[in-house]
Structure 1
Amino acid sequence: MFRIAAVACIAGLSIATATPQATAGGTTLTSQRIVTGLARPVYVTAAPGDTDRIFILEQRSGNTGRIRIFDLTTNMLLSTPFLSLSVSTSSEQGLLGMAFHPDYDSNGYFFINYTNTSGTTVVARYQVSSNPNIANSGSATTVLTISQPYSNHNGGMISFGPDGYLYIGTGDGGSGGDPGNRAQDITGQLLGKMLRIDVDSLPYSIPADNPFVGVSGDDEIWAYGIRNPWRFSFDRDTGDMYIADVGQNAYEEVDVQPANSVGGENYGWRCYEGDHAYNTSGCPGSSTMVFPVHEYSQGGSPYRCSITGGYVYRGSAIPDLQGAYFFGEYCSNQIWSFRWDGGGGITNLEDRTSELAPNAGSIAAISSFGEDANGNLYVCDLGGEVFAIQADAPSGACCVGTTCVTLPQSNCENGGGTYLGDFVECTDDICFPAPDNDDCDNADVVGSGNSTFNSEYATDSAGADCSIGSDVWLSYTAECTGTLLISITGDFFNEVSAVYAGCPSGDGQAIDCGHSSYVVSCVQGTDYLVRIGSADGTTGSGSANINCFPGEVCDGDCNGDGVVDVNDVLEMLGQFGGPGDCDTNGDGYIGVDDLLAQIGNWGPC
């Protein structure tokens, strides 16, 4: 059981306050904002095998595009950019993509895709300097340039495939409706394509098995008929390629190219937008085209306008998500996931938007997803924020020195704190341990007669009913078959109690609750749990008197001998005006109503 009670801030630690929801897969997800204040972040990636850092692309600040490093071990954004360069400031242009060479650890090469100040797409290779956090800005070598007729639909994504070749997604050149029919033109036209080149020797060479080598068509082309593949990715386990292609005015789509593809696919644009005819003039038959595995319509409420592609989850932290492809919507700020069925369709389409409401800020204008070296996923938005998609975890006390906040364990430990767990409550910056009997599984075992309790610093029990909080537990094993008489007295706090036969697993499990005394039928050898707390958060000490009487006990039988007689009247009068075993209606006080009930039950029970 746990209570969120953050009272202080420790540098480098993220305080979780969002209330996540359970996913259909059973795991509860949330998102944590890890950095803010960036200039139009458009991509998150990591170097192969580097589990300590992620690299964040800032599209542009003025006419400068930058690559920033976020240190995952300290939760800090490094102040000095990894690389800065001059870029175009027009429309969708700027610094758009980055890919590390598969052998980056040994050769230090990485590649970027940007539009220069003339508006031309440039794919260039750089090398890291002797400082692993600073690139050698003088090491640039141009790999490929493509003239852009317009400042939109410039693509931007680059990625190394499982085959070691560099894949480059190019848009159709912009404007609207592909006026030059560039996406369908495979001769002397690299726009509207997926390119595949070998960059182990520069400027580049053509893989021998590219589909148009030796036949009509540009050798660099791997696939075509693409409008604007702003973000595509490879499933790191299977090698399948997921292409999120931004639509014209009606439909957004996701195409999947299986890992065993030999290339040459025509994904349909401008002949088709998604599954729907757009401009089929001069187009080949639809049987020659590959249609999306998923599409959704633009417009609606919330308004949808542009897909942002993501990744197939292959991290180890959330096994339920294995194989789920995440993607989002730029205008509506929605996030979904699905699983490709291996053919022309999908399964398990889930809207994750509410579930991924972040602990701070808001996910708006989703520009990209990202993946770190461990397969964890990230979301970035043009508002300057980056969020980590995580499995939610119970929060507990996290201490650094004498300072205490309530955090999930992973956040605490990643930030250098000591996690003391959800049995410790942070109060006034100091960690106080909860009572040993703070939950049902650790209930104090008591016998017949009077026992004491203390609920100070107790936390709320999860999965139990009766609206009781700050509670502690007592366990009593019935010494007879008959009736239990239970009386609870609290000192200087408004105690509320409940009685259970065994630890509860959800609402409706209590035998009775809300009283200060109980008459409960019992079976010898059965464990009965008494939960004592309050409804208003107050805590304190008190006593519980528990006794077992063979046979039936009725209201007013104060001594439990099975007969209501003068001895019981005398005992009730001795308790009159206060709490006691003769409280027949459970209101916490012995009064006239209890005396009348006793007289009404006069004689043998």
Structure 2
Amino acid sequence: MYIYAVLFFLVACSHVTLGAKDCSTSATSETPGCLCLQEVVGGLKNPVAMLQPDDDAGRFFIVEQIGLIRVTDSSGRLLDQSFLNITSKVLTSDSPGDERGLLGAVLDPQFRQNGYFYVYYSTREGNGGGGHKSVLARLQASNDRNQADPGSERVVMEIAQPGDRNNGGQLLFGADGYLYVSVGDGGAGAHTAGNTSSLLGKILRINVTTADSGPPYNIPQDNPFVGQANARPEVFAYGFKNPWRCSVDKGDKEGVGRGRVFCGDVGNSSYEEISIISRGGNHGWPDREGHTCQDPSGCDDDHVPPIHVYSHDEGIAVIGGPVYRGCYIPSLRGKYLYADYTGKLFYLKEQQNGSWTNAALCVGDNSVCKTSSQQSWGAANYFILGFGQDVSGETYLLTTLNPSASQPLGKVFKIVDPKSPVSVAPALQLSALLLLITLLFLKDFI
């Protein structure tokens, strides 16, 4: 009887795990308790983005600033062969905090069928004052979907950069199917971000094509500056300093929130901002930093205010995250997660009046995180570089102990609930399940 009871329990657990996409993802009013971090993979060089194809393979693509996209298999093992290696053309350096490099990537919504993906990187060529440019390019996976074809690269857009910082780099496909590109102001001077004739300091929105000839992209006709003189039609929103990490809200099961674009805009000397991107909106920089006015002549009422601001007394650089729509941490559902570069974690909760309240996210110590798959944050000084999500909406932290693009000290952690029975790795559950099924069938022959 005992073996039947255990078998029933494991079948139930595996059903919960494998059926995660069917869970309710509506927002809750719960206050999150202390959570834990499960190490997924280490030995990375400044991981800045993490992608998971929706092809049932369970693998991840992890973007390293140095110019590599690495592959993990379904068990989290880092494969020796990279998915993409463009280190020969990517410009970065060993200097901690160098903001150039391979800064972003995104899979085409039809990646499973066409194998296309997009990257955003710094390269040595360029006529800007900074001596480099940012390149948005499309590539394609080879027949072996764990390896890209570097010869398939087609440049979509190039942006001359005036400096080595504030280069942005987030790539997202919105709910509307268009590609969103975050571009920092590059340190280009006082009014570049607020000037719609420049691509710097903007969120761009384009309709990429999969053709190998003709224009690599078209302009969506409802882009806000289409047809306006002295304005770039690619511009969707403006007034940003360095929108480093952004995300698209997947929405809850009723579709509430779906399609909202959140960005963490890294500040200058005083404040960090989180905004929901407004079509055609001026998000303030450089006239405003946070809620403070930098230029009284330019601080009018037309600026779109951020949903949250924090000062440099709390941190030094905001790392935008996702709205959590996963299944395994019910108390986080509907809350927006973000971090500071220095290792602090927070969340924002939306109120009925449309405002957002802020709270620190607790990472438990060893009294809370007691298993090998549930780690505390510990005393190590991790820098947070970004967030990742899997196809089920579970959330990951991209970190490093040393923010140098050549040092393999980066790790990816999954955020887990120590109270959840599904925090045990699904592979372990299924292995135990198969073992018990085998024993069950063999018991009559023993």
Structures share fold, TM-score greater than 0.5: yes
Q: 1:343 to 1:114 in 2, by over 3 A?
A: farther
State the shift of 1:117 in Å. 2.6
Aligned in 2, Cα 1:242/1:51: closer, same or farther, shift over 3 Å? farther
Within-5 A mapping of 1:150-165:
150-165=163-178
Matching of residue 286 in structure 1 with residue 297 in structure 2: no
- Counterpart in the other structure of 2:14: none
For the pair 1:94 / 2:114, whether they are aligned, the reply is: no
Pair 1:386 & 2:412 matched: yes
Cα deviation, 1:136-158, whole Å, max 9, x if unaligned, reads 11100000000000000000111
Counterpart check, 1:339 vs 2:349: yes
Relative distance call for 1:110 and 1:274 in structure 2 (3 A) is: same
Task: Say which of 379, 394, 412 aligns to 1:376.
Answer: 394
**Does residue 107 of structure 2 align to residue 106 of structure 1?**
no
Deviation at 1:49, TM superposition (A): 4.9
Structure 2 distance, partners of 1:414, 1:81, is 26
Q: CA deviation at 1:377?
A: 0.4
Question: Aligned to 1:133, what secondary structure does the other structure show?
Answer: coil
Q: Show the 5 A alignment for 1:457-468.
A: none
Q: How many angstroms does 1:74 deviate by?
A: 1.6
Question: Matched residue of 2:113: which SS?
Answer: helix
Question: Are the aligned partners of 2:36 and 2:377 in contact in 1 as well (CA < 8 Å)?
Answer: no
Contact 2:386 2:398 in 1 (8 A): yes
1:418 is paired with a residue whose SS is helix
Deviations 1:88-128 (A, max 9, x none): 02421000101111111111110000001332100000001
Instruction: Provide Cα deviations, 1:519-553, integer angstroms capped at 9, x if missing partner.
Output: xxxxxxxxxxxxxxxxxxxxxxxxxxxxxxxxxxx
Residue 27 (structure 1) shift: 5.7
Q: What is the CA-CA distance between 1:394 and the residue it aligns to?
A: 7.3
Equivalence for 1:137:
150
Structure 1 residue 167 corresponds to structure 2 residue 192: no
Deviation at 1:414, TM superposition (A): 4.1
Task: Give the deviation of 1:132 after TM superposition.
Answer: 1.1
Structure 1 residue 48 displacement after superposition = 3.7
- 8 Å contact kept, 1:293–1:340: no
Closer, same or farther in 2 for the Cα pair 1:394/1:388, shift >3 Å?
A: closer
Tell me the secondary structure at the aligned position of residue 338 of structure 1.
strand
Amino acid at match of 2:282: N
- Shift of the 360–123 alpha-carbon distance from structure 1 to 2, 3 Å rule, reads same
When residues 394 and 235 of structure 1 are mapped into structure 2, their CA distance, relative to the original with a 3 A threshold, is closer
Report the equivalent of 2:223: 210
Q: What displacement does 1:343 show?
A: 5.8
In 2, the alpha carbon distance for the partners of 1:200 and 1:415 equals 42
Match of 1:248 among 239, 258, 268: 268
User: What pairs up with 1:163-242 in 2 under 5 angstroms?
Assistant: 163-174=176-187, 179-187=189-197, 189-201=198-210, 202-216=215-229, 217-237=231-251, 238-242=258-262
CA positional deviation for 1:34: 1.2
1:165 deviates by: 0.5
User: Deviation of residue 180 (structure 1)?
Assistant: 4.4
Q: Equivalent residue of 1:106, what SS?
A: helix
Name the residue aligned to 2:317.
306
Unaligned runs of 5+ in 1: 1-22, 396-407, 421-605
When residues 360 and 320 of structure 1 are mapped into structure 2, their CA distance, relative to the original with a 3 A threshold, is closer
Contact map agreement 1:250 1:298 (CA 8 A) in 2? yes
Q: Which amino acid in the other structure matches residue 114 of structure 2?
A: N
Paired residue for 1:318? Answer: 329
Where relative contact order (Cα < 8 A, 6+ residues apart) is larger, the structure is 2
Secondary structure class of the residue paired with 1:379: strand
- Residue matched to 2:84: 83
Partner of 2:68: 66
Q: Which amino acid aligns with 2:68?
A: R
Task: Give 1:43 deviation, angstroms.
Answer: 1.3
CA distance in 2, matches of 1:417, 1:239: 38
What is the identity, as a one-letter code, of the residue corresponding to 1:379?
L
* Alignment-derived partner of residue 297 in structure 1: 311
Contact 2:35–2:363, Cα closer than 8 Å, also in 1: no
| Residue number in structure 1 paired with 2:432 | 418
Q: CA deviation at 1:363?
A: 6.3
Higher strand share: 1
Q: Does residue 43 of structure 1 match 2:49?
A: yes
Q: Following superposition of structure 1 onto structure 2, how do residues 3-42 of structure 1 map, counting pairs within 5 Å?
A: 25=31, 29-42=35-48
Pick closer, same or farther for the CA change 1:232–1:203 going to 2, 3 Å. same
3-state secondary structure, aligned to 1:190: coil
Displacement of 1:316 after TM fit?
1.8
Q: Secondary structure at the match of 1:181?
A: coil
Q: Check conservation: 2:35, 2:362, Cα contact below 8 A.
A: no
Are 1:334 and 1:353, in contact at CA under 8 Å, matched by a contact in 2? no
Letter in 2 for 1:354: V
Residues 255 and 206 (structure 1), Cα distance of their counterparts in 2 relative to 1, 3 Å cut: same
RMSD over equivalenced CA pairs, Å = 2.4
Number of the residue aligned with 2:22: none
Match of 1:444 in 2: none
TM-score, with structure 1 as normaliser: 0.57
**Amino acid across the alignment from 1:192:** G
* Deviation of 1:351 (Å): 0.9
Note the alpha carbon deviations across 1:220-263, whole angstroms, 9 max, x for none.
00000011000011101111111110011100010113xxx5x1
User: Contact 2:33 / 2:362 at 8 angstroms: preserved in 1?
Assistant: no
Instruction: State the distance in 1 between where 2:362 and 2:417 align.
Output: 15
Amino acid at match of 2:103: L
Question: Which protein is bigger by CA-based radius of gyration?
Answer: 1
User: What is the aligned counterpart of 2:340 among 315, 329, 353?
Assistant: 329
Q: 1:84 to 1:278 in 2, by over 3 A?
A: same
Pair 51,323 (structure 1): closer, same or farther in 2 beyond 3 Å: farther
* CA shift for structure 1 position 412: 6.7
User: In the aligned structure 1, how far is the partner of 2:296 from the partner of 2:321?
Assistant: 30
Are residues 275 and 54 of structure 1, via their aligned partners in 2, closer, same or farther at CA, if it must alter by over 3 Å? same
Distance 1:343 1:207, change over 3 A: farther
Tell me, in whole angstroms, the C-alpha distance in 2 between the residues paired with 1:46 and 1:98. Answer: 11
- Cα distance between partner residues in 1 of 2:393 and 2:381: 21
Equivalent position amino acid for 2:84 in 1: L
- Once the two structures are TM-superposed, the CA of residue 24 in structure 1 deviates from its matched residue by 5.6
Task: Please state whether the residue corresponding to 2:208 is helix, strand or coil.
Answer: coil
1:255-274 Cα distance to aligned partner (Å, 9 max, x none): 113xxx5x100000000001
Q: TM-score, normalised by structure 2?
A: 0.77
1:309 aligns to what SS in structure 2? strand
State, as a whole percentage, how many aligned pairs show the same letter: 38
Counterpart Cα distance in 2 of 1:35 and 1:363: 18
- Name the CA distance, whole Å, in 2 between partners of 1:411 and 1:344: 37
